[in-house]
Structures are given as structure tokens and as C-alpha cells.
Structure 1
Amino acid sequence: MDIGKKIKNLRRIKNLTQEELAERTDLSKGYISQIESTHASPSMETFLNILEVLGTHPSDFFKAQIDEKVLYKKVSQITYDEYDKGYILKWPVTQSNELEMEPLLLTLKANASYKDFKPSESDTFIYCLEGNVSLMLGDKTYRAETGDALYFKANQIHRLYNPTQDEARVMIVATASYL
């Protein structure tokens, strides 16, 4: 690990010049430059002071950065076919229950419904890709057509259903793991 380079990157992220970091740590601009170019090694006290000014902790500073997965290929996606019960579920991001958002593609056959959900603190977004769906949220019902979106706090009992004679497809994105 190149400590100097990492300090330089953190300084830039905080939008500080070497001079500003030097002033806040009672060091000289030249010494900050030497640390960043690995021509000097700070004492433990100086290092901890620099990290404090940069708003990070030693454990975070030394934590190995794991490459974040960005692309989820179609072949890795999971489909759960319950068409005999009225729906097909497709998870485009297979580890989504470990992340902050959980996307789901849901196909509802004619006059079918997806399960009843208990109240939670999740924010939920539903985009109607094809057909028509209705959302029962507490004692109110909202109907969405192709291209419409529903966005709500899931703090009431709710259910998504297809009240029509045609198949419907939606994309659901919910915060937390509640689908």
C-alpha cells in the first residue's frame, strides 16, 4: 500500500490543497508534499492527526478496497417461475438482498396477484413496463398503466395485482430486503 498516494487521494477528495492540509495539521506544505511523494514517513502521531483532518479512521484507511461489482450479466440472473400461482419473478442482481436496494422484475398473469406484504420501513418503487397493475396500499388502491410509476413508503399492508385479462410486467426496486 502506498500510504502517501492514499493520503494525497483523500486530500483531493476533501478538496484540500497541500497548503490547507499543512495549516490544519501544523505541518509545512513541503513536509506534506514529501509524505505524499513517499520521500518522508510521518510519525504515528502525525499520521493519526492527518487522518483526523481528512475525516477518516486508521481502520478505514487500511481497509482493502474490494472491487465493486457493477455489471450483472443476463446469464447470472435468477428466475423463479411460479406461473401456476400467477407470477414469474426475475432477480437481475443476484446478491441484491445484501445491498441497499433490491430490484425485481415481476410478470403477473391475467387476474393474478403477488403476495401480501407486511408493513416495513422500505421505500418501494414500481415501474409498469407492460400492461396494467393495481397497488392496494392500506385502504387505498392505485392503478398504473404502461409507463406509469408508483413510489411509496411500505409502512402499510400492501399488495400488487393485475386486475385485467392481459399479462403485466413491472420492475420493482425496494430498499432493504423485504421482497
Structure 2
Amino acid sequence: MKIGEKLKRLRLSRGLTQEELATRADLTRGFISQLERDLTSPTLESLEMILRALGTNLKEFFSDFEEKKIIYKKSERVPMYDTPEGVKEELLMTDTEVKRIEPMIVELEPMSQTEEENYHEGSEFGYILEGNIELWLDDVKYKAKTGDAFYFKSDKIHYIKNSSKKKKAKILWIEIQ
């Protein structure tokens, strides 16, 4: 992708017109227009001013030019080994720190539960793939079944329990930083 095209996408994703970006970056609308059409090249100083106005920086802007992984194969999942008995967790993606999310599949055998997690930054999303679960948030129990979803800020002590005596529960769980 060319720099101009990338700048235009970034500007549009921020909901700015060329005029608004030019004003914020202390440049002319004509210069922004020529830059987006790759008719001119920015100086390092003007590029930094534009990126600052767009809420990013040179490192983030140019790191996006490398090819990003799109498909994460089942064979690439990373198992979590320090889980309670009856609980199986697998990370669905690698390099999640860059993405600020950590998606995983959690399988709970009957009558098992995840470890209690203390409050922390971020939020959590889950989708019940199969079974019935109890979601505990600061000693308050919420029930969910296959097809239900949950979302909460991680500022509560939380865990998931499979209260079934016979059926396994399976959850897609995503921690968002």
C-alpha cells in the first residue's frame, strides 16, 4: 500500500475531512489532497504532524505495512497448562499482545470451574458454544446457556462454573485489554 492511500484510509477512519486534517496538522488542504493521491511526498516533519493529528505515530503507521496474520489454524492453538482439574483452555491466536485481545476456548467438565480471577484492567466477552454455565461476578451468579453471550468489565472478581453433573460446557472467551 502506498503512503497516500494509507493516510487517506486513516483519515477517513477518524471521520475527518481533508480540510479538518489540514487544520489540525497546520498544513494546506491542497497538500493533503496531493499527498493522498501520491502526487507528492511528505517531509518527515509534515508526516509526523499529520500522524499526530490522526492520533498515531511513525512507528505505528509503518508497522502496519508488514503482512499481518489473518488465519490461525487449530493446530497452532496454545494450550494453557496451569488450569484447575476438569478445565481445558486453549489460546486461539498467537501474538495477541499487539492486538490487545486474548481469545480462547474454555472447556469445563461437569462440576468444574475456572480459577477465580481478581479484578484487572479491560473487559471480557464470552459466547456459550455448548452447555450451561454460571458466571460469578463479585459473588453474584448469572446463568447462561448455549447460544447466550456475556460481557463485563474486568473490575470484579470473576470465574465460570459448569454446574451440570453430566454435560461438558464449552465457551469462547475473549479478554480485551
d(CA) in 2 for partners of 1:83, 1:27: 56
Is contact 2:133-2:143 (8 Å) kept? yes
Compute the displacement of 1:83 (Å). 8.6
Tell me whether 1:171 sits opposite 2:168 in the alignment.
Answer: no
Is contact 1:107-1:167 (8 Å) kept? yes
1:36 counterpart residue number: 38
2:151 counterpart residue number: 151
d(CA) in 2 for partners of 1:84, 1:11: 49
Tell me whether 1:14 sits opposite 2:11 in the alignment.
Answer: yes
Compute the displacement of 1:10 (Å). 2.0
d(CA) in 2 for partners of 1:72, 1:102: 13
Task: Give per-residue Cα distances to partners, 1:84-114, cap 9 Å, x unaligned.
Answer: 8111111111222443111010110000111
Compute the displacement of 1:28 (Å). 6.7
Compute the displacement of 1:27 (Å). 8.9
Structure 1 stretch displaced more, 97-106 or 62-71: 62-71
Bigger Rg, structure 1 or 2: 1
Task: Give per-residue Cα distances to partners, 1:124-153, cap 9 Å, x unaligned.
Answer: 111111011101110210011111111111
Tell me whether 1:52 sits opposite 2:53 in the alignment.
Answer: no
Q: CA 1:157/1:76 → structure 2, altered by over 3 Å: closer, same or farther? A: same
d(CA) in 1 for partners of 2:151, 2:11: 34
Tell me whether 1:135 sits opposite 2:135 in the alignment.
Answer: yes
Percent identical: 25
1:90-109 alignment runs, 5 A limit: 90-109=90-109
Compute the displacement of 1:79 (Å). 2.9
Structure 1 stretch displaced more, 142-151 or 5-14: 5-14
Is contact 2:128-2:145 (8 Å) kept? yes
What amino acid is the match of 1:93? M
2:116 counterpart residue number: 116
Q: CA 1:50/1:92 → structure 2, altered by over 3 Å: closer, same or farther? A: closer
Q: Structure 2: any 5+ residue segments left out of the alignment?
A: none
| TM-score normalised over the length of structure 2 | 0.72
Compute the displacement of 1:36 (Å). 3.2
Structure 1 stretch displaced more, 109-118 or 58-67: 58-67
Q: Structure 1: any 5+ residue segments left out of the alignment?
A: none
What amino acid is the match of 1:170? I
RMSD (Å), alpha carbons: 3.6
Is contact 1:48-1:58 (8 Å) kept? no
Compute the displacement of 1:154 (Å). 1.6
d(CA) in 1 for partners of 2:57, 2:122: 33
Q: CA 1:50/1:171 → structure 2, altered by over 3 Å: closer, same or farther? A: closer
d(CA) in 2 for partners of 1:12, 1:97: 24
